[in-house]
Structure 1
Amino acid sequence: MESSVQKSVTSDGKRIRDQVSEQEWRVRVELAAAYRLSEYYGLTELTANHISCCVPGEEGHFLINPYGMLYDEVTASSLIKIDLEGNVVLSTGEYGVNKAGFVIHAAVHAARKEAFCVAHTHTAAGMAVSALECGLLPISQTSMRFYHVAYHDFDGMAEDYSIGQRIAEDLGEHNYMILRNHGLLACGPTVGDTFHAIWRMERACQTQIMALSCGTPITTPDPKFCESVYQKLHQSPKEKKAGEAQYVSPWSALMRKMEKLDPSFAD
């Protein structure tokens, strides 16, 4: 008998895959992989937190995880399609949507049309850095990727849309944010770019907490070098000079890893 976490059909018995476009299905598979990889790399907080993604060709619709399902249970079919008002557009009906997750993600998607994918985490290191007055310090090359990170001061649990709007306003044109006393947020033009960003933000936070725990003075590079690294890491392919190495996204390799670990994410 098929378990609830494996259900891939709607209440009328139709497969989710048969009710969406090929473009949406490809995005569903990538988003499900991002959830599984988040579990693998320890970016989860039980059933909390979310990675959302716009639905190609359907303005105002995005995909989000079913509330109550662990990240390593998420599949392409189990992802719930909702609109910017929180109405369910397509679902297997087994689970609902977490309101706080909807509030944050809907606000960012509404404000940033180019933010195709949005990830929000409550990792231990991310929450620890979010509580530090100094915020994220540029003490490593990895953390310099976030040299211009946005901040949002804690103003309660994100249970009403006004808080989501303030988060989106504080994010502005940035792709990375530290929600003080809360956690981390990253957005990007693809699922792969967004996962890569949130993974590196987590690594930067872990490094900072480890360095601070040593109880010795921390060295911080000259701001001009931090800025130089930031600009270099955010160059577009067109800005690269002839002969310079082109950036190669790790996403294809991560998808291969997930397919070897457990291909059920693509169901």
Structure 2
Amino acid sequence: MGTSSRPIIGLTSYLEQAQTGVWDLPASFLPKIYFEAVTDAGGIAVLLPPQPVDAEIASSLIHGLDGLILTGGKDVDPARYGQEPHPTTDVPRKDRDAFEDALLRAAIDENLPFLGICRGAQMLNVALGGTIIQHLPDVIGSSRYGAGGGTFLVNDVAVEPGSELSSLLGGDSSVAVKSYHHQAIGDLAEGLVVSGRGDDGVIQAVELPSVDFGVAVQWHPEEDAKEDARLFRGVVEAAARYRAQRSGASE
């Protein structure tokens, strides 16, 4: 893939208090492992910081991209799905929630390929009208998906045959993944379909059949991207097709 044909992939980012040198201030950032996975897969990574946004701004941003990745991060505000916060739920990052909601809606409207990762899967479900299980240990009786302390736990996910996820994974019926979450999709939003579950029934992957490429996973594929880049290759290849189609349509 030539440099000029490489698709531009936007990645949402954190907005948190951060320290660097003598500075301690609010800053937007994203762990290198995310955008390195995109560039290794043949894409050009562009970071998207949370910022004031409306439908017009979101549409303008989306028109500058060939693909979108919603990355991990803090819990989605429970007010967005009509619940009071659980004691373990993070303090809301309302600016990021609003920004990503608008981007998702614009991406779906434009049929822009997108991949949701962990929080990104939950954000997709909430944006389309679904809910979140705010603390999985209350439901499944263990912390198998979220040890805390920066430690990722390995879990197996059963992959739905015939799904986009199955295609991306070469037809594998299961995949071992790295988990770091205490929440998960609850009531599934209308329009989404489940493409992966844990052996305890917890939803681990969803997709949106109404678009050409709309996949979201509860785990962290960036953690394994050096050994298994299939999801990142999938979104980058879908973005390359989108870029080519858009270029052809404008000629």
- Answer with 1 or 2: which has the greater Rg: 1
Structure 1 length-normalised TM = 0.27
Higher strand share: 2
Higher helix share: 1
Structure 2 length-normalised TM = 0.28
